[in-house]
Amino acid sequence: MPALRPRSKMISVRLSEDEYHGLKTLCAIRDAGSVSEVARKAMQALLSNGASSLLDPDLQELHTRVGALDNRVARLDREVTRIVQILSTAR
């Protein structure tokens, strides 16, 4: 478990009633301790994903597809490596 860093900064955000109720619902679904905890985790996810979540939908889709392609290439690389190992031990 990572060490907790003291939280000394605060931001203020105004929400509509619908947005607030949606956040409260998410809080209950995720069994979060507070609305602040849910908001903090959402901000952390946004920061860890970088600006990709702020891209326009076409660029975001391209980002997703390139990520999927990268995963498939990595799987293919593992399979080729496995096949090479099998063939080299069969000799």
Residues 68 and 78 in one domain: yes
Mean pLDDT, range 78-89, rounded to an integer: 93
- Are 67 and 44 part of one and the same domain? no
What band does 55 get if pLDDT is binned at 50, 70 and 90?
Answer: low
41 in a structural domain = yes
- Looking at the structure, tell me whether residues 49 and 61 fall in a common domain: no
Considering the domain boundaries, does residue 62 fall inside one?
A: yes
Range of the structural domain that residue 84 is part of = 55-91
Number of domains in the chain: 2
Has residue 71 got a pLDDT over 70?
yes
Residue 72: band (very low, low, confident or very high) from pLDDT cuts 50, 70, 90: very high
- The predicted pLDDT at position 54 comes to 62
Residues 74 and 90 in one domain: yes
Q: Please write the tens of the pLDDT for every residue from 9-54.
A: 888 889 999 999 988 888 888 888 888 888 888 888 777 766 555 6
Q: Are residues 43 and 70 in the same domain?
A: no
Query: Per residue in 22-47, is it b (16+ CB within 10 Å) or e — as a string?
Result: ebeeebeeeebeeeeebbeeeeeeee
pTM: 0.46
5 falls within a domain: no
Contact assessment for residue 13 and residue 20, using Cβ atoms and an 8 Å cutoff:
no
**Token duo for residue 38:** 């849910």
